[in-house]
Every structure is written in C-alpha cells, then in structure tokens.
C-alpha cells in the first residue's frame, strides 16, 4: 500500500498509530502535525513519523487518510479547519476520541466535501503520555470501535479497517449514541466516582491529616484513574453530558438504596449487595484491554533482608523487563514483606513471574 497518511496530534495515541501503520505498511508515508513544534521535532527524531508538517493547510489536501488524534474539543476545532481546506476527493478521515456523538455529527459535514469521515475510538492507552511513550503494539488485542454513519459506503469502512488492521486490534462497529452510553458506564462514570472519593478524603484530611496518610495504601490504588488529565476529562464530560446526567441519577438512586439498607440494618440486603457485585465482578474478563486501562500487577513475597529489592529489580533488568511502578506494601521486622510490581503488558508480567520463580521468589497476581 502506497498512501500518504496525516496524523494530527503527536501524543501517545497518535505516535503509536504511526508506528503500527509504518510497521504494517512500509511503503506508506506518515506525516505528523502538532501545534507544539517540539512534539513535531521529537516525533521526527524518534522516527515515529517520516515527515513533520508545519501547517494543516499545506499537508491536509495531500493526504489520502487523516487521523485526528487529539482531545475531543480539539478534534471539533480540527474538523472546522478541515472544512475550509480543499481535501483530496475520496480521502478518509477518522478520529480517536472517547466520545462520539458530537464528533461524528461535526465530522459528517466533511462528507459533503466528497470525503468520508468515520468516527473511531481505540480503547487502549498507557499511564505514560507523550510521543516518546509511543509503542507499536499498544493496540494489540484491544477493542477498536468504529462509528460510521449510514451514508458511509461499505468499501470505505473496509479501506479504513485495512489500514488500521496493522494495530492488531479487534474491531467493533457501534452507532455513536450506543458508544457513548457504553463508554459512559464503564469509563466516564468510574472516573467521576473515583475523583469524588479523592475529594471526600481531601476534605476530611484538612481537619484530620492522618486520613491522608492512611489513604496512601489501598485507597490510592482504588482511585488510580483519578490521576488522568483534567483537561481531557472536562471535555469528555461536557461532550457526553446527557448520557452522564442519566447515569449519575441512577447512581444516586443506588446509593439511596444502600443508605436505606443501613438505616434499616437489613443484613440480608447488605450481604446480597456485596455478594451479587462480587459474582458479577469475578465473571468479568481478566487482563483484557477495555475502556479502563488494565493494571498488570505482580505481588512478590520478600524476606526482611537488606538488598532484597535491588535483587528483584536486577533479576528483571537482566531479562530486559521494564517495571512501570514498584511499591512496598508490607515491610516489618521478622515477617515477610510484599512488593507490588507493575508492568506495561501481560507479557512482561508473565515473564517476570517466571524469572522470579527461578530465583525462588513466591509471586501471585491480584484476583
């Protein structure tokens, strides 16, 4: 395939898409554009892209395929710019945003120019950001949702999937409203709840500082997702406003039911609430890439002995395994300590477990 592809937005997602397509189609020319000149320069120096575009006016009309890899609000602005440019007839345009209704509505205006806009959302990411964190296999086995409108020819959908199949993702086709409803429930609402819990602890911590220290353990893990980009989540909430208002009303109703159980001391209902949640949660697919990033954590029992942490990290380093995070969960004199090691992929976790077992370390994964 000899195509000219323009990627607008050179962050983690845009960079990883560029690497995947370059690997899958060596004859393709990948041009990148970002409003930050340093991002363009870095992407070029890292060979994530072949060429750096100085402006959309120069490059967009030459592109066969345009991938908009920016936050949702910025995507709307980019589409507005593209509407005023002489784009190549028959060219394909897609995005990677976490909400789809407003983006697809705006993108559909491009179809009147003889080009074809198909909304997209690769449900994968990383706890790192920036083009320097780009990985060719970021999307492998992840769900990649496409949201075409009824006027998109099947041939154009196939053409886009033929390009994106280099990501090795699993394609799912949804209408924009269904996408936003699903994403709201399994991604957007959990981020709101996690952030709300953090606010509640912070407020209590102003008067009782000890609570913040206690929250450094399990609470910090439960609310990891609250560390995401505030600007990105502001855009997501505003663009999925109606869906989330309905879900928040349902959530408040559920919390009212829990409150009623407590007021009435209803032991059976309280037990059922947790038992049913446990059963559903235990049946969810483990270590699958979905709307929320999976955490590849391995727990290691370690003796209370000087140098044990450096020994563990050295074993992994010798095998070329990268650790994204390490935390001491338990370390007291005369008892076994516990290290929690976080990895960027399930492959790294599996290899780490095997290597540490060879050195007689006891390891286990979270359920």
**Paired residues of 302 in beta bridges:** 337
What angle separates helix 72-82 from helix 230-239, to the nearest 10 degrees? 70
Tens of pLDDT along 232-247? Answer: 899 999 999 999 999 9
Residue 334 confidence class, pLDDT cut points 50, 70, 90: very low
SS3 248: helix
**Confidence band (pLDDT; 50, 70, 90) for 229?**
confident
Residue 152 banded pLDDT, cuts 50, 70, 90: very high
Q: 68 pLDDT exceeds 60? A: yes
Q: What is the mean pLDDT of the chain?
A: 88
Scan for tokens 């980019």, then name that residue. Answer: 78
Predicted pLDDT at 331: 45
DSSP, collapsed to helix, strand or coil, labels residue 134 as coil
Take residue 192 and report the two structure tokens written for it. Answer: 């709101």
pLDDT-based confidence at 346, cuts 50/70/90? confident
Interatomic CA distance for residues 319 and 341, integer angstroms:
15
Residue 337 phi, psi dihedral angles, 5° rounding: -95, 170
Q: CB of 172 within 8 A of CB of 100?
A: no
pLDDT at 287: 55
Element (H, E) at 318: helix 308-318
Tell me the whole-structure pTM to 2 decimals: 0.76
Question: What band does 333 get if pLDDT is binned at 50, 70 and 90?
Answer: very low
Residue pair 316/344 in contact (Cβ under 8 Å)? The answer is no
* Domains of the chain as residue ranges with CATH: 4-174 (3.40.50.720), 179-283 (1.10.3660.10), 296-365 (3.30.2130.10)
């Amino acid at each position: 395939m000899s195509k000219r592809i323009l990627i607008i937005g050179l962050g983690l997602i845009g960079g990883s898409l560029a690497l995947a397509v370059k690997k899958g189609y060596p004859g393709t020319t990948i041009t990148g554009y970002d409003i930050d000149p340093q991002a363009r320069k870095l992407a070029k120096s890292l060979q994530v892209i072949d060429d750096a575009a100085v402006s959309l006016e120069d490059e967009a009309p030459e592109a066969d395929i345009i991938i908009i890899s920016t936050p949702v609000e910025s995507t709307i602005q980019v589409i507005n710019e593209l509407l005023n440019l002489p784009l190549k007839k028959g060219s394909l345009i897609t995005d990677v945003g976490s909400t789809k209704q407003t983006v697809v509505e705006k993108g559909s205006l491009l179809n009147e120019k003889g080009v074809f806009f198909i909304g997209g959302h690769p449900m994968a990411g990383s706890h790192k950001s920036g083009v320097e964190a780009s990985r060719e296999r970021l999307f492998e086995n992840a769900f990649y949702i496409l949201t075409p409108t009824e006027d998109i020819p099947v041939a154009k959908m196939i053409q886009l999937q033929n390009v994106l199949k280099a990501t090795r993702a699993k394609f799912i086709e949804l209408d924009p409203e269904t996408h936003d409803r699903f994403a709201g429930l399994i991604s957007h609402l959990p981020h709101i709840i996690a952030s709300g819990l953090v606010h509640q602890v912070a407020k209590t911590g102003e008067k009782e500082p000890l609570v913040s220290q206690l929250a450094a353990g399990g609470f910090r893990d439960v609310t990891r997702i609250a560390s995401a980009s505030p600007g990105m989540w502001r855009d997501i909430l505003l663009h999925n406003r109606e869906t989330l208002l309905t879900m928040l009303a349902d959530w408040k109703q559920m919390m009212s039911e829990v409150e009623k159980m407590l007021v009435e001391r209803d032991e059976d209902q309280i037990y059922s609430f947790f038992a049913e949640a446990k059963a559903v949660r235990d049946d969810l697919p483990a270590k699958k890439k979905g709307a929320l990033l999976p955490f590849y954590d391995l727990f290691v029992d370690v003796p209370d002995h000087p140098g044990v942490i450096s020994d563990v990290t050295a074993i992994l380093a010798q095998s070329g395994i990268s650790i994204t995070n390490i935390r001491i969960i338990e370390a007291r004199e005369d008892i076994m300590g516990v290290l929690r090691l976080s990895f960027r992929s399930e492959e790294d976790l599996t290899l780490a477990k095997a290597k540490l077992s060879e050195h007689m370390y006891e390891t286990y994964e979270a359920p």
